[in-house]
Amino acid sequence: MTRLLLTLFFVCCVTPAHADDYKQLFEDAVATVDWELEKNWAFTESTLEDDERWVARHDPRNNEDERWTLVSVDERKPNEDELKEFAQKKEEHETSDSSQRVDIVDVDTVELLEETDEYWLLNFIPDEDEVEFIDNVDATVKIIKDGRYLESIDLRNNADIKPGFGTKIGTFIMHLQFGPATEGGPIVPRNMAIKVKGRALLFIGFDETEIIEYSDFEFAGNGNDE
C-alpha cells in the first residue's frame, strides 16, 4: 500500500475544465501531503485490529532504537510479548511507506463526479498493478478547494468481488483520510481504514477490519538522522 518526498505548497484556485486539468488537480493535491511522518513529526498512532487497540508514540528526535514507544494495549500497560511483537512490526515497515497508498489511483482515469463550493469529488479506476481486483469497485477522491489539498480516497465494492476460485468478497471498503497536522499546518495522513468480509473455499468465512489513526502531531524538524 508509496514513495513520495513532497512538501506543502499552495496554488491559485482555478476551476478545472478538462480531463487533463483534473489529473493535474489530483497530482497537485497529492503534492500537498507531507508523507515523511517518521522523519518530520512526533505523533501518536492508534491501531485497531482483531478487536485490540494498540496505542504508540513516535518521536524522531530520540535515538533510532528509541523512537517508537508502545504506550498501551486495550488501555492497559503492554506485556513483554506485546512489546516484542510491536518492535518486530516496526522493524518490518515504516509508517510513511504504509501511508503512501495513492498509487491505487490510476491518474489517467480521473474524472469529475461532483463539484460544490467547498470541494471537488473525482472518480477513478483503481490501478490494476496496485489493486488485484478492480471490477465492481467504486473509487473516489475528495479535494478541498480552500488550499486544494487531498482530503480522502475511498474504495467500496458495489457488487460481490470474486478474485479467485471459491473466494467471494461481499464487503470491501478502504478509506484514507488526510488533513492538517496542526492548525494551519501541512497536510498529513490522519486515518486509514480497511474492511474485508467474505468467504473462502465456499464455507470458510472471514471478516477483517483494520483502522489506523494518527494524532497529536508535533513538528520535530528532520529528527535525529545520525
Are 153 and 92 in the same domain? no
pTM summary value: 0.82
Closest CA to 210 of 190, 195, 224: 195
Q: Report yes or no on 3 lying in a domain.
A: no
Task: Extract the C-alpha cell encoding 16.
Answer: 478545472
Residue 182: which domain range? 19-35+100-216
To which residue does cell 528526535 refer?
61
Under a CB-based contact definition with an 8 Å cutoff, are residues 192 and 175 in contact? yes
CA separation for the pair 25, 27 (Å, rounded) = 6
Domain membership of residue 210 (yes or no) is yes
Considering the domain architecture, whether residues 110 and 177 belong to the same structural domain is answered as yes
204 domain residue, yes or no = yes
* 107 and 92 in a common domain: no
pLDDT at residue number 196: 94
Distance CA(75)–CA(98), nearest Å, equals 25
150 and 57 housed in the same domain = no
> 195 with 131, same domain?
yes
From 77, 86, 90, select the one nearest 37 (Cα to Cα): 90
Q: Do 23 and 59 sit in the same domain of this protein?
A: no
In a domain, 125, yes or no: yes
* Domain annotation covers residue 207: yes
The answer to whether residue 223 sits within a structural domain is no
Residue 225 lies in a domain: no
> What pLDDT does 97 receive?
53
Predicted confidence at residue 5, as pLDDT, reads 23
Same domain (yes/no): 204, 105: yes
pLDDT at 127: 81
In the listed set 72, 96, 120, which residue is the last one of a domain according to the structure?
A: 96
**SS3 per residue for the chain:** CCCCCCCCCCCCCCCCCCHHHHHHHHHHHHCCECCCHHHHEEEEEEEEECCEEEEEEECCCCCHHHCEEEEEECCECCCHHHHHHHHHHHHHCCHHHHHCCHHHECHHHCEEEEECCCEEEEECCECCCCCCCCCCEEEEEEEECCCCEEEEEEEEECCCEEEECCEEEEEEEEEEEEEECCCCCCEEEEEEEEEEEEEECCCEEEEEEEEEEEEEEEECCCCCCC
Report the pLDDT value the prediction gives residue 16, as an integer from 0 to 100. 45
Cα distance between residue 44 and residue 47, in whole Å: 10
Total domains in the fold of the chain: 2
Residues 157 and 208 in one domain: yes
pLDDT digit string (tens) for the chain, length 226 residues: 333 222 222 222 334 445 569 999 999 999 999 988 889 999 999 999 988 999 999 999 999 889 999 999 999 999 999 999 999 998 887 655 544 567 889 899 999 999 999 999 999 998 876 566 677 899 999 999 999 999 999 999 999 988 877 889 999 999 999 999 999 899 999 999 999 999 998 789 999 999 999 999 999 976 555 4
Same domain, 31 and 141: yes
For the four alpha carbons of 135, 130, 33 and 97, in that order, the dihedral sign comes to positive
Spatial distance between the Cα atoms of 22 and 33, rounded to a whole number of angstroms? 18
Q: Is residue 9 part of a domain?
A: no
